[in-house]
Structure 1
Amino acid sequence: MFVGRADELDTLNDALARARAGEPQALLLGGEAGVGKTRLVEEFAAAAGRHAVVAVGGCVEIGADGLPFAPFSAALRALRDALPEQFAAAACGQEEELARLLPDLGEAGAGRHDEQGMARLFELTARLLERVAADRPVVFVLEDLHWADASTRHLLAYLLRTLRAGRLLVLASYRSDDIHRRHPLRPLLAELDRLRTVRRVELARFTREEVGRQIAGIIAAEPDPDQVDDIFERSDGNAFFVEELAVAAWEGCCTGLTDSLRDLLLVRVEALPERAQRVARIVAEGGSTVEYRLIAAVAGLTEDDLIEALRAAVGINILTVTAAGDGYRFRHSLVREAVADDLLPGERSRLNRRYAEAVEADPTLVPADARVMRLASYWYHAHDAAKALPAVLAASVVARRRHAYTEQLGLLERAMELWDSAPEDVRRVLRPIDCAEVYPPCGCDPATTPLRYLDLLAEAAVAGRFGGERERALKITKRALRLLDEEPDPLRAAWFWIQRSRLVQSLARGDGWPELATAQDLVRGLPPSEVHAEVLALAANWSMLHRPGAEAFAAAERAVEYARMVGARDTELHARLTLAGLQVDAGDFETGLAQMRQVLADTVAEGVDQVAGRAYVNLPSELQSVGRDRESAELLREGLAYARAHGLLDSEPWMWCNLSESLYALGQWPQAAEAAAHAARGGHGAQPRGSGALRLAYIALARGDLAEAGRHLAAARAHYGTHDPMPQHSLPLARVTLGLAAAQGRVADARTELLRALDAGFPPGTQRYGWPLLLAAATAEADTRTVPAAGPGREETLDRLRETVRGLTTGAPLWQAYEQWTRAELLRAQSTDSADTWSPVVTAFESLDRPYDLARVRHRLAGALLAEAGAGDDERDRAVELLRLSGAVADHLGARPLADAVARLAQRARLTLTRAARQALAPADPAAALGLTMRERDVLRLVSAGRTNRQIAEELFISPKTASVHVSNILSKLGVSGRGEAAALAHRLELFPAETAPAPSAG
């Protein structure tokens, strides 16, 4: 009898209905052991099978070792069996890669092993499920996540984060009482809780009424109320305990039963005949499920005796037959755990040895895809180092080929643990190729060179980095470098310092340069090698990001040369990409861009996905830097498709960042915000999330949403941190910080930010970030030119700006246009600009594909035309047209500061515009929008003129105390901290245009 769970079933059925309608669903089902999770899933799956394909996979426990991707492998196999044609079509062309999860598809390809390897597999799996579920609903069930290996957890997190299409319901269950504070599933659950697409269902214990109904179903009779009370009290509503207690009471073996959990779980096992108890102990140590032939080989019983023992255990529901009908498992894992825990230490190691010997004698006893992993586990728990070390190394290779890098790391750590215990003659025959396929180059033949302990450390460090276990990897490199201090090997030491550099940067412990510099010192003077080429390539790339210039250029050239000499193709392509980017930044645009295009073509053709992903990021970025945003956007969309197809998880968020920047420049702000949100979402690295947040801050600032801009700016700063400063981050941060301070009337803060950036300087190649910053600073100074409180430090700031403008590169048409604009703003800051100043700026931007920038300079030109003495009809007509165009762009983009400035200028100049233009440009009353009363406007006007409270009181015939109260209220309503900021804000909003200079305010 299925008892209760009506609300939970409703939730599951609702999720299935949504999935059937084409809205992918994800549910996490939690509950303590024995509370009824499996029964609920079975009940739901039986009903769901009428409308959908149900594919179930469970996490496997063998001793303490989970098999990599076990639940996904089992569920995918079930899905393929149910929909063979649809599955084959969805997997077409990707069978070699998907075979890492489902070996039935064929031999897994050699593939590439890098940080992107696991990501590629994850992306292909997610898209496979989407395609299979495109036409028919699929319920994809993963049970017992508390046993899940790290790779399974990572894949599940990726799948739930990226579910976009398909009639798919993912249902995963786990034991909530097993998830202690340090359990590895705990952070995953916290991460998934933040996803709006994932729902949690917690299974509560039964009520007394439900316990009574359960007991009635078990004994097929109405139970005695006192017995129900007793069992409910002792079981506390746990469904499994209710069943055990009810059966014990029914069978009359309740007398003497203790309240100990283990005793409760073992009481029925101990009631079995001795032979059946022995078989139960064998099955308990064999794993979650054990094949019948393997049980027979380990038990050593006659077939009749074995079947009789198994029948006894099955008969009282201790064991049950597996779905495939070829083996046995405990009906409930709690009983298996209790039986396994009851084994004596010597008994446990003996059973594991017998399991290992049986599998070695007849490998067909277990499935081929699980054989190596199970042998490694059996021999390890048999405490036989001579047998365990080779088995564990073989298992580490299998884990690596499946991209299960965290499991590979765990196995390699076991190998390190076994190393000293294994006999010398066993270690002597091991080779590096027994450990991994990719190895730190040392100039020796891995097929003939004996494996060393240092080699295990090298492979473990890489596995840790690829699998995200960077803290463990960092400790491993430290141990390796201590060994290399005792036995110097410069090439290997340099290789480990490279790994440390990468790990330090990814862990936010520093910028990685001291480690790279140490590696450079170690290889200096050595013959060319792959390590040498990689050190040079990484140093060149680091310098391009942190200290671009001649030194970075020279390092990139040497890296290309060395990589070609030693045939390190990947390193060569990386170095060529760096060199080409430096060429663009140095002003040799066409040569550099052509080289980058060639690298992109080469990497795509040769299948060097990681470098191709970087090329799809860097080439569009360089196109943006010279103003070719439309071309950049087209290439980025192509790159995003490539990244999704090849699982380039690290490259994709950077592509979204760059796409947001291009779309912003092209005037497609809603799409730009969407792209930035993609980059800023959780799951990506800190730096692309910071860049995504910064792009959102840019958009919010241009739209006049200062509070939103401030929030995104703070998020960007938090993501970037202070451990790895780069001009490509610090200069855009300074630009938004300065712009926000100026918009809020904080003139002094804006100047402080500018001077900080000017003191740091603009390294070669950073003009793309430098020009917008200088322009924002010059605009802020021009906007506050008539504010008395803005005077201190003004001339010094303008002098520094003029000096910097003279020295910044202007090679590209975009940079030349920015230079003209910045110089024009500096003239406006001195009230010496004119129409002749702004006409060339408008002309420069008319040839660029940047509508917002063009609208801003058109507004400036209109203001200059109207400000000139004796402006005639022709000038006024031209100003009308310029304002009409600027206003239309501002309205389309939602750029309220520019729209309001255009409207105020048109209104102040009493221009005759069309009715539509008047409606589009009609300004809101900024003072009313700020909540200022008429008296507060009068006070603010005098504050803006530099009056003291006593002078305000005298002019308005109020007391100084009343004037002080008005000033305090004004500061609060404006959200500023002082009188100077209030005056600057009033000037920027043109609250009192008749009393200020006639030149227009900034857009």
Structure 2
Amino acid sequence: MLGPVETRSVSPVFVGRAEESGALHDALARSREGEPQALLIGGEAGVGKTRLIEEFATAARRRGAVVALGGCVEIGADGLPFAPFSTALRALRRELPGELAAAAAGQEEELARLLPELGESGTGRRDEDGMARLFELTARLLERVAADHTVVLALEDLHWADASTRHLLAYLFRTLRTGRLVVLATYRSDDIHRRHPLRPLLAELDRLRTVRRLELARFTREEVCRQVAGILAQEPDADRIDAIFERSDGNAFFVEELAVAGLEGCRRGLTDSLRDLLLVRVEGLPEEAQQIARIVAEGGSTVEYRLLAAVARLAEDDLIEALRAAVNASILAPARGGDGYRFRHSLVREAVSDDLLPGERSRLNRRYAEALEADPTLVPADQRAARLASYWYHAHDPAKALPAVLDASVEARHRHAYAEQLRLLERAMELWDATPDAVRSTLRPVDYAEVYPPCGCDPATTALRHLDLLAEAAVAGRLCGERERALKITKRALRLLDDEDDPLRAAWFWIQRSRLVQSLARGDGWKEIATAQDLVRGLPPSEVHAEVLALAAHWSMLHEPGPEALTAAERAVEYARMVSADDIESNARLTLGGLMVDAGQIEAGLTHMYEVRDEVVARSLAAVVGRSHVNLPHALEGLGRSEASVDILREGLRLTGAMGLRVAEAWIWSNLAESLISLGRWDEAAEAAGNAQRRGQTAGPHGSGANSLAFLALARGRVPEAARHLAEGRAAYGPLDPMPQHELPVSCLTIAVAVAEGRLPDARAELARTLESGFPPGTQRYAWPLLLEAATAEADARALPAARDGRAEALDGILKATKRLTTNAPVWLAHESWVRAELQRAEGLSTPDTWSRVVTAFEPLERPYDLARVRYRLAESLLTGGGEDERDRATELLRLTQTVARHLAARPLAESAAALAQRARLPVAPASQPAPAPADPAEALGLTSRERDVLRLVAVGHTNRRIAEELFISPKTASVHVSNILAKLGVSGRGEAAAVAHRLGLFPAESVIPRPAG
């Protein structure tokens, strides 16, 4: 069918690569155990990366794996956004249509940005989390598909990858934790020069222990001999092998070319240039086949047959005959899984493309562009805009190229491919001056600009301006992480605006600068916000005005909360409503609610926040869903309503997980750790804090998680561990852009760790520094624990002569601070009593009445550890000269204290209570002795609270995966819990464990009714 003689240049024998093949098959075996595998395969062009992947894919399929291949697409110097992932997911959909549809259920609109076949992708306003949400949903899609099928995802030619593809691949390598999945990526190592964009990614992935990197070496002489023998189907003579090995230097592709060149009798016509070697066989084709090769070389990595026919302008029979000649000569090959053609090796394509004359290249690109404009169906829909833009750009026709490039930038924006959008917008700015005015005047902001409305004009009738492109590019740069470029763009725009009277547009660029300055740690961003406020002051309501006010209010809430912040939030809400800016209004109302709570308008503020949460959930407004489930429980925890906070946080985990809001999810985990600590569920809190650190991509969740772990370590007597976590938290926040919600908890822990290590002077110095800075309004939730740590330290050190110097100043500073702090909730009113009681103890004036009032204040609160601590202090005061009734009461208080301390593993408190009981000769078990047998059978079996939760789900027949979804843990963690439960119950299987649970009546009947996952 392909002609009388087909050149065989590929050896049917797979030569060498035993070590690399072994690594790939080992990864496949590991993935079958539910542990995702990530491998990078590098090597110079022609060394055999594709052959290795093909051989492994064939073997993997034989072992039942589903293989999805995707390649990075090069069009001239451009890459297509997410091209290899789109191709691989399309292949996965063909293999597992039902499974992929089920895994994508509910998120088709987002995932359609990668795989258009899933439906229409969303085109609404972008938000800060858009790209992260797409990445997270992609990771979860792959994990779900790979839950029951072994999947190999192979991405080739990473050296051509667009920035969005590189970012997504890095995200997958960092975050994939479950699933029978192998992710491979190949790249040309000889192309990775010092400034190649792939180099930073490779350096980053090298630091990940989960990623294995393989480098393919050239063939040895023996391997070259075996390869040539396979090509020639006979044993070659030694002289010929020596010549081929010397010229090819062991490069597998050049070995093929040299072997075939000799077979075809053109050995004498070869030059010393390997580039010429690649062209010799092309030049041996018939003229029409050579022309087809030149057309395919300029069309991209793969050219569809119908597009090729339109550009070649040959009779169909002549076209097919030319293609047959090129395929028979192993120059071209049919595209994998598609109706098109590609060069069998990209090196040949590059040689043919480099051999084109400048005028010839632009003419071919024009013909491609004209053909595609005439019939857009010639290429896949998700590639159309990018390819048309590239063809017109390389055709050197600015009038045609500018609109096409802008169309492609909009398409990239819709796909959250912000790096490609930025590159295209920069290309549009390059074309701007060369494009005729008549063309530019037809372009409209409504078609190409999204980030803010043109000020004082109708975007449907006004011509697009250069400033509009700068605005789009500034936001695209910020969203794709190119913040330095984005900052330069804002500076350029503001210089242009110096000569124009356009305060709204200037204000918009100033708030972009504020965001960039903060993200680059160049300052706190307030100077830029203040400049924007000055520009909009006195102007009519607008979306820009509302955004400036909302940003000012949010900044003030984090840095300097107070009346001015409250006023700014109220005006932001008012202005946003007047201009129907729903996103800005929702965010401003959340800020307003939080500020109202801090100002003492508790119920009104919470009502605002609850309303926003319900509205954005009902509208699936992802941009605000995450923040609403962070800020509302944060406010509730600040009021001591920890149970209500946990309920909302659990719901937030379900929603952010489903929506792929990874940044918000990390914050939720960190807030959950704080609330669980308050409730005395410390094992769960430690797990939540660890999740915050693992999930967190920003400093806040990582630092907050470290703080929670430091508190737990300190309360459990592990001081070195607490110091290590404290250092992690301090490093996460960094020295710039201080916020009270970050600084005060770190200061509190710094005092506590210093005291635990016997460094009272250092603790006093930290206290003095903090008191000098003061406690801004609304920070009582951080201030009271800090003052308590300092006051307790002074009271504990009262008998130490060395601690006398500086004590009076410290106590005076604490007392003055208590008089300025608010007590807007029962929990902080209780803390005020506690701090004052510790100050009295520091003066030797502690009495049972004082501590009784503190205990009474804490008893109705949801804080078992705090209650145990103040009960211990009350027992201590009762035993100082008390009678028999006081001793009985102290005995009961110490028993309650030890019960809580043992449950929490709070060793220092348990030991203190035991020591006090021993000194007073009270009948309380020492800390080292086991507590009396609990009435609860689960406690008698030694089950932790988390193991109880797991056992409840085992008892109703849930799998580890379902348990993981229900409890927001990984399947691997669920498996560990199940193993521990089986060991503690002394049973061999899940069925026996369920039987024991039912026999002992561990759970009421209604609690073991299966609930929906999540």
> TM-score, with normalisation over the residues of structure 2?
0.87
The verdict on how the C-alpha distance between 1:234 and 1:821 changes in structure 2, with shifts beyond 3 A counting, is: farther
- 1:285-318 Cα distance to aligned partner (Å, 9 max, x none): 1100012232233233343443333223222212
Amino acid of the residue matched to residue 90 of structure 1?
A: A
Q: CA 1:608/1:262 → structure 2, altered by over 3 Å: closer, same or farther?
A: same
Amino acid at match of 1:606: R
Are 1:104 and 2:117 counterparts? Answer: yes
User: Given the alignment of the two structures, is residue 681 of structure 1 paired with residue 681 of structure 2, yes or no?
Assistant: no
Count of aligned residue pairs for this structure pair: 919
Aligned twin of 1:938: none
Please list, as runs of the form range in 1=range in 2, the aligned pairs for 1:879-958 lying within 5 A after superposition: 879-914=890-925, 918-919=929-930
State the 1:39 CA deviation.
1.0
Contact between 1:441 and 1:531, CA under 8 Å: does it hold in 2? no
What is the alpha-carbon distance in structure 1 between the residues aligned to residue 548 and residue 318 of structure 2? 66
- The structure 2 residue matched to 1:123, chosen from 115, 136, 141, is 136
Identify which range, 191-200 or 406-415, moves more after superposition. Answer: 191-200
How far 1:276 sits from its partner (Å)? 2.8
Matched, 1:769 2:782: yes
2:434 is aligned with what amino acid?
Answer: S
User: Structure 1 494/4 Cα, relative in aligned 2: closer, same or farther at 3 Å?
Assistant: same
Instruction: Name the stretch that deviates more: 849-858 or 652-661.
Output: 849-858
**1:256-267 alignment, distance < 5 Å:** 257-267=270-280
- Relative to structure 1, the CA distance from residue 325 to residue 158 in structure 2 (aligned partners, 3 Å threshold; closer, same or farther) is closer
Q: 1:850 to 1:441 in 2, by over 3 A?
A: farther
Residue of structure 2 equivalent to 1:306: 319
Q: Which residue of structure 1 aligns with residue 975 of structure 2?
A: none
2:449–2:469 contact (8 Å) kept in structure 1: no
What is the SS of the residue equivalent to 1:181?
coil
Paired with 2:486 and 2:36, the residues of 1 have a C-alpha distance of 36
The aligned residue for residue 748 of structure 1 is 761
Question: Is the contact made by 1:120 and 1:645 (CA closer than 8 Å) also made in structure 2?
Answer: no
Q: 2:480 aligns with which of 456, 461, 467?
A: 467
1:74 paired residue number: 87
Q: 1:258 to 1:712 in 2, by over 3 A?
A: farther
Deviation at 1:872, TM superposition (A): 3.5
Q: Distance in 2 between matches of 1:872 and 1:616?
A: 52
Asked if structure 1 preserves the Cα contact closer than 8 Å seen for 2:452 and 2:544, the reply is: no
Deviation at 1:230, TM superposition (A): 4.1
Task: Decide which of 163, 175, 188 is 2:176's aligned counterpart.
Answer: 163
Cα offset, 1:881, TM superposition: 2.9
Match of 1:786 in 2: 799
Letter paired with 2:550:
A
**1:432 aligned partner:** 445
Which residue number in structure 2 is paired with residue 26 of structure 1? 38
**Does structure 1 residue 824 correspond to structure 2 residue 837?**
yes
Matched residue of 1:448: which SS? coil
Is the deviation greater in 184-193 or in 654-663? 184-193
Q: Is the 8 A contact 1:35 1:203 kept in 2?
A: yes
Q: Report the counterpart of residue 873 of structure 2 in structure 1.
A: 860
**Corresponding residue of 2:416:** 403
Q: Which amino acid aligns with 1:394?
A: D
Once the 2 structures are TM-superposed, how far is the Cα of residue 842 of structure 1 from its aligned partner? 2.0
Partner residue, 2:643? 630
Q: How many angstroms does 1:183 deviate by?
A: 2.4
Deviation at 1:325, TM superposition (A): 5.2
| TM-score normalised by the chain length of structure 1 | 0.88
Could you say which residue in structure 2 is the equivalent of 1:384? 397
| Counterpart in the other structure of 1:978 | none
**Bigger CA drift: 544-553 or 855-864?**
855-864
Structure 1 equivalent of residue 604 of structure 2: 591
The residue identity in structure 2 corresponding to 1:82 is E
Corresponding residue for residue 963 of structure 1: none
1:466-487 deviation digits (Å, cap 9, x = unpaired): 2222221111111111110011
Q: 1:325 to 1:619 in 2, by over 3 A?
A: closer
Contact 2:449–2:468 under 8 Å retained in 1: no
Q: Does 1:113 align with 2:130?
A: no
Contact 1:145–1:173 (8 Å) recurs in 2? yes
- Provide the rounded CA distance (Å) in 2 between the counterparts of 1:350 and 1:509: 48
Residues 778 and 826 in structure 1, CA contact (< 8 A), matched pair in contact too: yes
Letter of the 2:33 counterpart = A
Q: For residue 578 of structure 1, what is the aligned residue in structure 2?
A: 591
In structure 2, the residue matched to 1:846 is 859
2:872 and 2:210 mapped to 1: Cα distance? 45
User: Which region of structure 1 is more displaced relative to structure 2, 708-717 or 507-516?
Assistant: 708-717
Deviates more, 1:62-71 or 1:332-341: 332-341
1:649-668 → structure 2 map (5 Å cutoff): 649-668=662-681
Distance 1:212 1:859 in 2: 83
Q: Contact (CA 8 Å) 1:441, 1:530: kept in 2 or not?
A: no
3-state SS of 2:41 partner: strand
1:919 Cα offset (Å): 4.9
1:12 aligns with 2:16: no
Residue 174 (str. 1) matches residue 187 (str. 2): yes
Q: Helix, strand or coil for the counterpart of 2:805?
A: coil
Q: After alignment, is 442-451 or 237-246 more displaced?
A: 237-246
> Is the 2:451–2:475 Cα contact (8 Å) retained in structure 1?
no
| Aligned counterpart, 2:54 | 42
CA distance in 2 between counterparts of 1:513 and 1:916 reads 53
Structure 2 gap segments, 5+ residues each: 1-12, 933-1014
SS in 1 for 2:59: helix
In the TM superposition, what is the alpha-carbon distance from 1:696 to its structure 2 partner? Answer: 2.2
Question: Does 1:319 pair with 2:328?
Answer: no
Over the matched positions of the two proteins, sequence identity in percent amounts to: 73
> For residues 461 and 217 of structure 1, do their structure 2 counterparts lie closer, same or farther at Cα, with a shift above 3 Å needed?
same
Q: Kindly state the Cα deviation for residue 229 of structure 1 after the two structures are TM-superposed.
A: 4.0
Q: CA deviation at 1:131?
A: 2.8
Q: What is the alpha-carbon distance in structure 2 between the residues aligned to residue 394 and residue 858 of structure 1?
A: 69
Alignment correspondent of 2:464? 451
Q: Does residue 712 of structure 1 match 2:725?
A: yes
Deviation at 1:689, TM superposition (A): 2.0
Alignment partners' CA distance in 2, 1:265 and 1:672: 63
The answer as to whether partners of 2:706 and 2:726 remain within 8 angstroms in 1 is yes
Shift of residue 72, structure 1, vs aligned partner: 1.3
Contact 1:440–1:495 (Cα < 8 Å) also in 2: no
Supply the AA of the counterpart residue of 1:674: E
Task: Name the CA shift for 1:883/1:32 in 2 (closer, same or farther; >3 Å).
Answer: farther
Deviation at 1:349?
1.6
| Cα deviation digits, residues 813-871 of structure 1 (max 9, x gap) | 110111111111112212221322222222222211112212222222222223x12x3
* Structure-2 residue corresponding to 1:479: 492
What secondary structure does 1:329 align onto?
strand
Q: CA deviation at 1:410?
A: 0.8
Q: How big is the shift at 1:708?
A: 2.3
1:276 maps to: 289
Give the secondary structure class of the aligned counterpart of 1:486. coil
CA contact (8 A) 1:779 1:825 kept: yes
Residues 343-358 of structure 1 mapped to structure 2, 5 A cutoff = 343-358=356-371
5 Å matches for 1:196-211? 196-211=209-224
Q: CA deviation at 1:785?
A: 1.6
Shift of 1:233: 4.0
**Cα distance change on mapping 1:602 and 1:228 into 2, 3 Å:** same
Give distance in 1, aligned partners of 2:27 and 2:107: 30
Paired position in structure 2 for 1:696: 709
The one-letter amino acid of 1:101's match is: L
How far apart are 1:441 and its partner, in Å? 4.4
1 CA distance for matches of 2:389 and 2:814? Answer: 68
Alignment CA distance shift 1:136-1:820 (3 Å): same
Q: How many angstroms apart in 2 are the aligned matches of 1:850 and 1:559?
A: 37
Work out the CA distance in 2 between the residues paired with 1:683 and 1:843: 39
Q: Is the 8 A contact 1:432 1:439 kept in 2?
A: no
Distance 1:325 1:562 in 2: 53
For the structure 1 residues 214 and 286, does the alpha-carbon distance in structure 2 shift closer, same or farther, using more than 3 Å as the test?
A: same
Q: Distance in 2 between matches of 1:111 and 1:495?
A: 20
- The letter for the 2-side match of 1:675 is A
Compute the displacement of 1:94 (Å): 2.9
Moved more, 295-304 or 751-760: 295-304
Residue 936 of structure 1 corresponds to none
Q: Secondary structure at the match of 2:662?
A: coil
Contact 1:123 1:645 in 2 (8 A): no
RMSD of aligned residue pairs (Cα, Å): 2.1
Amino acid at match of 2:20: E
Matched residue SS, 1:166: coil
Does the 8 Å contact 2:665/2:695 carry over to 1?
A: no
Per the alignment, residue 563 of structure 2 pairs with 550
What is the aligned partner in structure 2 of residue 510 from structure 1? 523
User: Which letter does structure 1 place at the counterpart of 2:671?
Assistant: N
